[in-house]
Amino acid sequence: MPPESVKTHFELFALPATFMVDGEALSARYRELQRTMHPDRFASAPDRERRLAMEQAAQLNEAFRVLRDPLARARYLLELRGHRFDDEHSTTRDPEFLMEQMELREALAEVRDSADPLARVGVLMDQIGARLKAMTDQLGDLFGRDSAEAQREAVQTVLRMQFFRRLEEEARNLEADLEDELDGP
């Protein structure tokens, strides 16, 4: 097996495997690495090298996607530390959180009935965004503490963030639909 395929995303970028990542530096290194690996650099190279370059560039793109997104990065870090996410069965039983989810979902479903739906969905998106930001900060704190307890809590936070991401996606789609409707058929 070629050595590069066993590298972690962090190793590929020569970054320490921590939650805090300098976004600017990450992007700069990404561009530098793409300059070396991108298939365009191998357009007139023999077939096999072109394939190799494509695989490397794909791995680099994947690593960049994961590392620049706090949620994907947290999930990846937890997996590196041995946690297995089982998406089919991962749920949270925290009643307070479930209640909040239900309320937000209802609010989203009722947006169209409000006086100014576009403004209303904007408010909800801000609310969701603020919650995501708070959970990202919380993750920073949890990964800073090096205990089994903190790791368990980080797993829970990741699961919650996934719920909020789905909500955010739904809100975005709704906003897009509302804006399109304003333009008429």
Distance CA 109, CA 154 (A): 30
Cα–Cα distance, 105 to 168 (Å, whole number): 10
- Residue 125: both structure tokens together: 């998106």
Both tokens of 39, joined, read 């298939």
Contact positions toward other proteins, by CB under 8 A? 2-4, 12-16, 21-22, 25, 29, 31-49, 52-59, 61-62, 64-65, 172, 175-176, 179-180, 183-184
Residue 37 to residue 60: CA distance in whole angstroms: 9
Instruction: Decide whether 145 or 172 has the Cβ nearer to other proteins.
Output: 172
In terms of CB distance, is 26 or 156 closer to other proteins?
A: 26
Question: To the nearest whole angstrom, how small is the minimum distance from the Cβ of residue 94 to other proteins?
Answer: 28
- How near is the Cβ of 146 to other proteins at its closest, in Å? 16
- Rounded Cα distance between 73 and 65, Å, is 9
* Shortest distance, position 157 Cβ to other proteins, whole Å: 22
> Is the CB of 22 or the CB of 103 nearer to other proteins?
22
- Which contiguous run of DSSP H or E holds residue 154? helix 148-182
Residue (11 or 103) nearer to other proteins, CB: 11
Residue 13 has phi, psi (to 5 degrees) of: -95, 5
Q: Judged by CB, which is closer to other proteins: 100, or 175?
A: 175
26 contacts 33 by C-beta, under 8 angstroms: no
Task: Provide the 8-state DSSP code for 4.
Answer: G
Tell the smallest beta-carbon distance from residue 116 to other proteins (Å).
18
**Minimal distance in Å, beta carbon 69 to other proteins?**
11
